[in-house]
Each structure stands twice: as C-alpha cells, then as structure tokens.
Amino acid sequence: MNAVVTQTGMTEAERRKAAQLERIWREPPGFIGWFKAVHHTTIGKRYAITAFIFFLIAGLLAGMMRLQLAFPEAHILSNDQYNQFFTMHGTTMMFLFAVPMMFEALSVYFVPLMVGTRNIAFPRLNAYSYYLYLFGGIMLYVAFLCNTGADRGWFSYVTLAGPDFGPGKRPDFWAQLITFTEVSALAVAVEIVVTVFRLRAPGMSLNRIPIFVWGELVVAFMVIFSLPGVVLSSTMLLLDRTCGTQFFNPAAGGDVLLFQHLFWWFGHPEVYLIFLPGTAIVSTIVTTFSRRHVFGYLVLVLALVATGFMAFGLWVHHMFATGIPQIAESYFTAASMMIAIPTGAQIFCWIATMATGKVVLKTPLWWVLGFFFTFILGGMTGIFVASVPVDLQVHDTYFVVAHFHYVLIGGAVFPLFGALTYWFPKLTGKMMSEMLGQVTFWLFFVGFNITFFPMHVVGIRGMPRRVYTYPAGMGWTTLNQIESLGYILLFVSVSLFLWNVFRSFRAGEPAGPNPWRAGTLEWATSSPPPCYNFLHLPTVNGREALWDAAPNQPVVVGLDEDTRSFLTTRTLDAEPDSKEEFPAPTFWPLLAALATTAAFIGSIFTPWGITIGAIPIAVTLIGWFWPVKQAAERRRAREIWQTE
C-alpha cells in the first residue's frame, strides 16, 4: 500500500516536482480561465453538477404531474401543459440527466483517475462536448419557458410529431436537443475508448482493469453503435418538418414504423447505457465495503460485455403492439428474457462477494442494498413486458411506468446516490455526514416504493400512460393519491441530500486520500486530486491496484516535466508504448461549441441553418487545430527519439 502518495510527508525533491507539475498542469486562473479549462476533473465536475440540476428540474416537473394526477379530472395543469411537462420530464431525465450523469460525468471524472493517467484523451474535445451538452439543455429549457416545450413524448412518434400533427416548433426543438446531446455523448465515448485502451497505467492489463472502467468502456462502445440510430430518426424528423422530405409520410411511401425501429434501436440500448454504469458502481462499492476482491471478476466483465451485445437484439419489444410476425415475436421475447441471465449472474456475484467478505454497512452500501430491492423487482417486471402476450396487456400502461422507474431509478439513481456519497470525499476532500446520509436513504427508499409500487396495480387495472387526467370511479383515484404522497418523501429526501452536500462541503470532516481504504487508483492521490492527478504516475500489480501493490511498487519515471507529457501503453498488456503530449487549455472548444449551437438552432428555423452555420464551425475548428510551433517541434523530437 506504499504507492499511496500524499501531500504530507513529501521529500524536498517531491515538493519541487509537485510545484513544477502544478505550474504546467494548472487550469488558467480567473473568470476568463474558466472558459479555457480542459482538465477532465474540471469538466467532469461540471458535467455532474449540470446533470444534477437537470435531475432536480425534471423532478420538480414530475411533482407537478403527480399533483395533477392526485385528483380525477383535475384542472391544475391544462392538457397542453401536462403534455409538455411529461415530455420535458422524460426528455430531461433520459437525455440531460441519465446519460450525461451515468456515462459522461462519472466516466470523464473517474476513468482517467482509475487507469492512472494525467488527463482524458482528447481533452479539448471533452470541453467541447460539455459545452454542447450545456447549450443543448439551455436551448430546450428556454424553448420550454417560451411555451415551445416539446409535447410529443420523449419518443416523439410520427405522425404525431410530424409536420401535420405537431404544429409550431416544439418537436423541432426536441429533435435538435437530441442532436446536441448525441454529439456530446459520441465525443465522450471516443475519449473513453481511447483513454481505456491506450492511457492505462503500466501493468494494468485487460484482466486488471477495474470493473467500473469496464462498465464505462462497454457503455462507450454502446454509445458509438446505438446513437446513430436516434440521430438518424430525429434528423429525418427534422427534415420532414423543415425541408418537406417524405421519410415518414405514409401517403408518399414513407413509413411510421421506420421511425420507431430507428428510435428503439437506440432507445433500448439507452436503458443499458444508463444502467450498466449503475452496475459498475455497485461492483465498486460492494468490493470496497465487503473488504475483499470482487467475486467472479471474469463473470462480471463478461456479463457487462454480453449485456452490451444483447442490448441491441431486443429493441422490438417496445413495438409488440404494432403487430409483429409471430416468428419475430418469439425471437424478441426470447432475447428479452435472455438478458436476465447476465444480469442475474452479476447479482449472484455481488451477493457472493458480500456473503464471503466483511460487510461494513455505511451509506454507500445502503444505497446499493436499496438498488438490490428495487432493481431486482424492476427486472422481474421486465420479464412480464418481455413476454409478447403479457406485454399486449401491460404495454403503455402504468405497469410499464412502474417497471422502468424501478429499473432506472433502482438501477441507476440508487447506485448514483451511493456513488456520490462514496466519491464525495474524493471530489471535495470532505466526508459526508453518515447520519444524514442514512436518513436520506431511508426516506428515498420508502418514498420511492410508495410512489412507484402502486403504479403496477393501477396499470394492471387498466390505466394507460401519458394521460393528463382520468375519470373518477375507475378504481385509480386512491392509488394515484398514494403515489402523489410518496412524491413528498422523495422531495424531502433529495432536499436533505442537497443539505448534506452543502453542509459537508462547508464543514465536513477532512477525508484524507483514501477514507474507505479502497483499492482503485483514484484513491492513490490526494482528495481532491491535484491538477496533474498523480505526483508519481502509478504502476499496477493486481486488480485492486492499492490492495495488491508490491512493497516497492515502482512508479513511472522519465516523462518530460516541462510539458503536459503522458505515457501511452499497449491495449492488451499495458506495456509502456510511447510518450505523448496533451494540448494546452484554450478558448477554441467554447467558440466551436457556440458556432455549432448557432448552426443547430438555426436549422430549426431554416433548412439553410446547417449550410451557413458550417462556415463559423469550420473557422473555429481551424483555429482549434492550428499547429503550435513549439509543440510540433517537440513531437518531432519525440518521434525521432522513439524510432531510435
């Protein structure tokens, strides 16, 4: 455990090295510097805070919906408002909270730390992706405040969202939001793949990569393969609406089901994009709080990869009610049930880990236990919706609403709160209050079940989804009122969590580098990590780098200390490969993101938006990639040195 490097007890040489690294790596200071930042911890934190704000906003929208549904035939929201609210809730939760939080925020912040490098690959692209995500979200909400909130559901099926039945610009803003968030997610996916494949610490061969990193890697690949589907469908929708193309016009040979296939080709893997990072968090927390190496590492990794593959084979189960040929029905039913096998394997491995370890029941682990109770229930109801005949009854009812809230809140939000509590000391250097944390958990757990469990019943009793109200006397009223009361607990719980964050941030106990005595590399540096991440770049001797470190675990030496230099390693065995150099902080990603934003928003109003908007984008990209003479010379020198 001697690879742990702390700020205290440094030798004079180390202190000099730290000062030198600080000078090279620090983010530009001041207000202006804020816009130039490219370090992954800075961008990761921004992602997390922005995504959490969107989570709170979407949660408040849900509160208004629960208020409206607490009474039959209520007029608290008009139908027009309710349709915008539920669409904004779904769109925000899926595109502005879940994926950016579970994938972008967590992986951007933690993957480089966990693989032991100084920054994420392509740091400027990373800054660009954050700005695009932020501007897309702001655009959607400015539109919402202008009474142009998307109102055709988070899926925006044609022809309802098409030009004839979706007047105005509401679906266009929805379609462009998709473009924003997808470009941003694709950029991060590329960064993560490259970071994991080429930037790992020496010794971290494929079979020693932390499970969390495996999870985010699988998700990154899924992003690359699934998002083009939704980019296509939303762009085709936008073209239909603004340029008069006929992709989805049934009378002109267009096809309304084409949209659904493209959308769910993305939309089903989307669920796994959100929940695989959740399982990766669970693996991490279970390992640390069971005080042993995770049981069945290989099974867990294979399960992640298998889920990643299978996720692409079940999109049609969202479309069973459209009337699918029987052979296809059978295939998609079987595939949908099959995915329970890798998920089951993961669950059994976690239980086995705890059953054979020493379980320390602190707040992060409480959230994980909450995950077991809720997510497994969600998985069980998933078998109902996987079966074609049963799905024909429960599809598009509140049963499905209950199912996916159990899967997504259970599978992603519970682990997320666990992760936030677990990594809060790393992010801020302070511990969160254990007592407040457990109260928050119990309020959330109880509130969640009160809110969402009755939805199963109400759905089986025939209440469809996406209705802005319902008649009295259907047997739905009482249950809806119970659900709405549950929301109050959730509200209190999340408020308490925010208070805990605020209080701990100001006056929490100092955490030290490794408060949980965990084994992964992010705990090998001070909390919060310095701008250069590690004073000595670590090497790895086992799956849990800190637990398995040899008594004299070597560190990486020989990197230039006067540039942003880093080491690349080989994909399979993580043998050192070459020295490379990260680019410096700059304005260009911000400017490029602004130009892209102008083009995307412009294309909502005129087909010329992209054509004209491409010019400023090209200009900013040229500025971005304009070669810096010294860096080019250094690269040439490195190449000569390496070939010799």
Site for other proteins in 570-629 (CB under 8 A): 605-606
- Binding residues among 66-85 for other proteins as defined by CB under 8 A: 78-80, 83
Cβ atoms within 10 Å, residue 435 = 10
Q: Which string of DSSP letters, residue by residue, matches 212-280?
A: HHHHHHHHHHHHHHHHHHHHHHHHHHHHHHHT---TT-GGGT--HHHHHHHHHHHHHHHHHHHHHHHHH
- Binding residues among 388-407 for other proteins as defined by CB under 8 A: 388-397
Query: Does residue 517 belong to the site contacting other proteins (CB under 8 A)?
Result: yes
Q: C-beta of 515: minimal distance to other proteins in Å? A: 8
DSSP type of residue 430 = B
From 554, 537, 584, select the one nearest 118 (Cα to Cα).
537
- What string marks each residue from 327 to 366 as x (binds other proteins by CB under 8 A) or -? --xx--xx--xx-xx--xx-xxx-xx-xxxxxxxxx----
Q: Rounded to 5 degrees, what angle do the CA atoms 428, 429, 434 make? A: 90
- Binding residues among 201-240 for other proteins as defined by CB under 8 A: 240
- Binding residues among 114-143 for other proteins as defined by CB under 8 A: 142-143
- What string marks each residue from 523 to 562 as x (binds other proteins by CB under 8 A) or -? ---------------------x--x---------------
Rounded distance, CA 289 to CA 293, Å? 10
Q: C-beta of 518: minimal distance to other proteins in Å? A: 8
Q: Which is nearer to other proteins, 47 or 320 (CB)?
A: 320
Give the number of residues in contact with other proteins, rule: CB under 8 A: 120
Stretch that binds other proteins, among 9-17, 372-380, 525-533, 631-639 (CB under 8 A): 372-380
Rounded distance, CA 137 to CA 51, Å? 9
- Residue from 136, 162, 364, 370 in contact with other proteins (CB under 8 A): 162
Q: Rounded to 5 degrees, what angle do the CA atoms 417, 422, 427 make? A: 100
Q: C-beta of 581: minimal distance to other proteins in Å? A: 37
- Residue from 71, 373, 404, 491 in contact with other proteins (CB under 8 A): 373
Query: Does residue 475 belong to the site contacting other proteins (CB under 8 A)?
Result: yes
Q: Given CA atoms 260, 264, 266, 271 in this order, what sign does their dihedral have?
A: positive
Cis upstream peptide for 528 (omega within 30°): yes
Q: Which is nearer to other proteins, 90 or 447 (CB)?
A: 90
Q: Which is nearer to other proteins, 191 or 391 (CB)?
A: 391
- Residue from 4, 56, 383, 492 in contact with other proteins (CB under 8 A): 383
Burial of 503 (0-12, 13-18, 19+ CB in 10 A): middle
Q: C-beta of 309: minimal distance to other proteins in Å? A: 18
Query: Does residue 255 belong to the site contacting other proteins (CB under 8 A)?
Result: yes
Stretch that binds other proteins, among 192-200, 384-392, 499-507, 634-642 (CB under 8 A): 384-392
Stretch that binds other proteins, among 20-28, 182-190, 378-386, 551-559 (CB under 8 A): 378-386
- Binding residues among 81-110 for other proteins as defined by CB under 8 A: 83
From 266, 254, 115, 309, select the one nearest 193 (Cα to Cα).
115
- Residue from 469, 481, 565, 578 in contact with other proteins (CB under 8 A): 469
Q: Which is nearer to other proteins, 73 or 644 (CB)?
A: 73
Q: Which is nearer to other proteins, 255 or 573 (CB)?
A: 255
Q: Are 104 and 133 in contact (CB under 8 A)?
A: yes
Rounded distance, CA 226 to CA 365, Å? 32
- Binding residues among 28-57 for other proteins as defined by CB under 8 A: none
- Beta-bridged to residue 566, according to DSSP, are 580
Cβ burial 317-352 (10 Å sphere, 16+ → b, else e): bbbbeeebeeeebeebbebbeebeebbebbbebbeb
- Beta-bridged to residue 567, according to DSSP, are 579
Q: Given CA atoms 148, 153, 154, 157 in this order, what sign does their dihedral have?
A: negative
Q: Which amino acid is at 633?
A: E
Rounded distance, CA 594 to CA 518, Å? 41
Query: Does residue 460 belong to the site contacting other proteins (CB under 8 A)?
Result: yes
Query: Does residue 241 belong to the site contacting other proteins (CB under 8 A)?
Result: yes
Q: C-beta of 97: minimal distance to other proteins in Å? A: 21
Question: Any residues with CB less than 8 A from the CB of 583 and at least 6 apart, and which?
Answer: 38, 123, 124, 564, 631
- Binding residues among 270-329 for other proteins as defined by CB under 8 A: 290-293, 295-296, 299, 321-323, 326, 329
